[in-house]
Structure 1
């Protein structure tokens, strides 16, 4: 089976008549992100004198939009969208499982293409990436906010060791999203949207397998909550705890064992619905 989805990096789209309406949706998503970014950084500049820590506030971005039969994805950072679809060889016997297809790029300094892009944009700064992080501070190379890595005036608002030294050629972190469009078909079962903490413990294939087995047994259950329950079990096992012991760890200290995680599972097809769960630590 051919898997055909549109990929763009926010700056080049197809000019075909069939793609133009879809391009407009992608353009609208990007414009909304850019407007939100501009508004947020403007607010940061207005308030940074009283709240200097606000210049470091930021987030990865993952947006999923279903319009008709089209699934649109926009991402910044290392959150993931993973589509579960029939394997070409197993379209009849579902007991053999589904194929996991990642619909997002990983915008981190660990990714060779991203690392080379960032280094290429700052040829005169030998400390662009330090210890696998942008300016030694941030693992992701694209993000919303984090103004101190985008504008010198915002970095200067930080005091002492919090300030990034030698901010030679900002911005160092991009707000240019990766954009995707996929036409949903009968072979597509569900989409997992999740922050990177989920994938610290599960591969794409493992996450799809867990959701598939769960909704096969409980068609109207809560697969997102189930995924997080499995994450807590695995994190507890890795730490030598029971799940109950891990959950009793105070919220501020639990980050040592697992990241805060948000998961959304969108069930496709005739039983279309959405399941969402979050861990707060």
Structure 2
């Protein structure tokens, strides 16, 4: 489907890097459970099809064994974008984790854009993880483009020693950090423990870990994600600061950030802003057992089914917006002398989200002062009004967990968490080979059109930029824990 959609399956030739020289390494990665085989299942799906982009995605860039599908720059994109994006390359030539790691690991890599939204998916078979980044931009595309070009590489580097190691090195420090304290062991026990550690290190998998025996430092992984985001924003603000006099509009640009890293049964989430990760979990009772496809079709086309769903929704991320009382209280406490810190349900009457990447005009007075007067806020004091401090979450997958919806906030302008999960559940049961992400996007458009009093196709005929008056950009990734992944954006 065209008209601005980016969804459905992508052909292997569009996205896959060379696999032949990695066969022996892939065979060394032997998951012990169904959940740990997710990355391989994703690979099988991608070998047939992954997703297709609309005609907006028309450039393919090959670098080191990585095939990147990149969105074309729209005519409305400012020239600043290319400057910001190119200031930091995806891989630093002088970085010790650069050329060797990115060049040799087997990555399935995809990028996409819809309006100011950017989506980044990386599937690394060598390290056995899936990375998803959804960047919901505002006031321009530069912040999201910078995130798209730089955040994953920083995440990758920060995860060294936690989720991966160079093959010539060991992760002994990580293993020791997860072991019993040496203070509680006598000399004999320490010798035995050292022996076991050496045995683990002698059986390192391709990612530098002893095959699935590693006890991961989950808190360390979450801190690594936060540090990667901090470094990425610091680099963005430093570059933008040098361009501020020439392009003061950079002070307005920012983005919400939602990042997921999944390795085996572990899901790590980081968010800034109001994008969400919503988990669908099986309830205790299984009232759907024995239902036929006809039963679900009847439900889909108008029969009562409100109480028939067997999945419940669990939001794993925290919203950072003025709709959350704790966030409003935090900002007002930080600015006791500013009665307008939050006014008209917005930070300084300007921004709905209370945390964001970029948006320097709400973080430093000098950024605000550089703006044209019509865009300035009344900046009181020197403390930032918003921050880029993320919420972090680690979730251990359970047999009852069925799928995960990752989405920018455009979805939740028309769906509650429960409605989104129910919609996906019903669709997947009725159309098991269908694309639930595209279905959700279409439902958003149907509801937006109905709210505006127009036909669905009338809404699609409106140019995408003008359509923002009727609905926000929507980017959705749905990950089934049976090894399938869907993406759709509008």
- TM-score of the pair, normalised by structure 2: 0.51
Given that 2:403 and 2:479 are in contact with CA atoms closer than 8 Å, whether structure 1 keeps it comes out as yes
Give, in angstroms, the shift of residue 231 of structure 1. 0.9
Does 2:470 correspond to 1:274? no
**Pair 1:110-2:306 in alignment:** no
Q: Which residue of 2 aligns with 1:7?
A: none
Cα offsets for 1:76-95 (capped at 9, x unmatched): 11111100011133387485
Q: Distance in 1 between matches of 2:313 and 2:372?
A: 45
The answer to whether the 8 A contact 2:273-2:321 is kept is yes
Verify: 1:75 aligned to 2:271, yes or no.
Answer: yes
Q: 1:209 aligns with which of 409, 414, 422?
A: 422
Aligned to 1:66: 262
SS at match of 1:164: coil
Distance in 2 (alpha carbons) for counterparts of 1:46 and 1:62: 27
- Asked if the contact 1:149–1:170 (Cα under 8 Å) also holds between the matched residues in 2, the reply is no
Q: C-alpha displacement at 1:170, in angstroms?
A: 2.7
Alpha-carbon deviation of 1:38? 0.3
Counting only pairs closer than 5 Å after superposition, residues 125-144 of structure 1 correspond to structure 2 as 125-144=338-357
Secondary structure of 1:196's counterpart equals: coil
2:397 — aligned with what? 184
Distance 2:488 2:454 in 1: 22
Give the C-alpha shift of residue 250 in structure 1: 2.1
- d(CA) in 2 for partners of 1:96, 1:61: 31
User: How far does the alpha carbon of each residue in 1:217-244 deviate from its partner, in whole angstroms, 9 at most, with x for none?
Assistant: 3333321111101111111112121110
After TM superposition, list the pairs within 5 Å mapping 1:151-166 onto structure 2: 151-166=364-379
Deviates more, 1:53-62 or 1:236-245: 236-245
Tell whether the 8 Å contact from 1:82 to 1:102 is kept in structure 2 after alignment.
yes
Runs of at least 5 residues in structure 1 that lack an aligned partner in the other structure: 1-15
Between Structure 1 and Structure 2, whose CA radius of gyration is higher? 2
Matches within 5 A, 1:1-281: 21-90=217-286, 93=289, 96-268=309-481, 271-279=482-490
2:310, 2:462 → 1: CA distance? 36
Q: Distance in 2 between matches of 1:166 and 1:260?
A: 29
CA distance, structure 2, for counterparts of residue 25 and residue 166 of structure 1: 36
Q: TM-score if structure 1 supplies the norm length?
A: 0.88
Q: Distance in 2 between matches of 1:190 and 1:234?
A: 24
1:8 corresponding residue in structure 2: none
Which string of whole-angstrom CA distances, capped at 9 and with x for unpartnered residues, describes residues 10-50 of structure 1?
xxxxxx95997111110110011000110111111011111
Contact kept, 8 Å, 2:287 with 2:310, in 1: the verdict is no
Q: What's the CA shift string for 1:237-265, capped at 9, x where partnerless?
A: 12121110110112222112111111110
185-194 or 245-254: bigger deviation: 245-254
Rounded to whole Å, the distance in 1 between the matches of 2:470 and 2:399 is: 39
Structure-2 residue corresponding to 1:9: none
Contact 2:364–2:382 (Cα < 8 Å) also in 1: no
Q: Distance in 1 between matches of 2:261 and 2:379?
A: 40
Contact map agreement 1:141 1:174 (CA 8 A) in 2: yes
Q: Structure 2: which 5+ runs fail to align?
A: 1-176, 180-214, 292-307
CA-atom RMSD in angstroms: 1.8
**Partner-residue secondary structure (3-state), 1:251:** coil
What's the secondary structure of 1:48's corresponding residue? coil
Q: Write the distance in 2 (CA, Å) between the matches of 1:67 and 1:171.
A: 35
Q: Which has the higher relative contact order, 1 or 2, with Cα contacts under 8 A spaced 6 or more apart? A: 1
Within 2, Cα distance between the matches of 1:138 and 1:43?
23
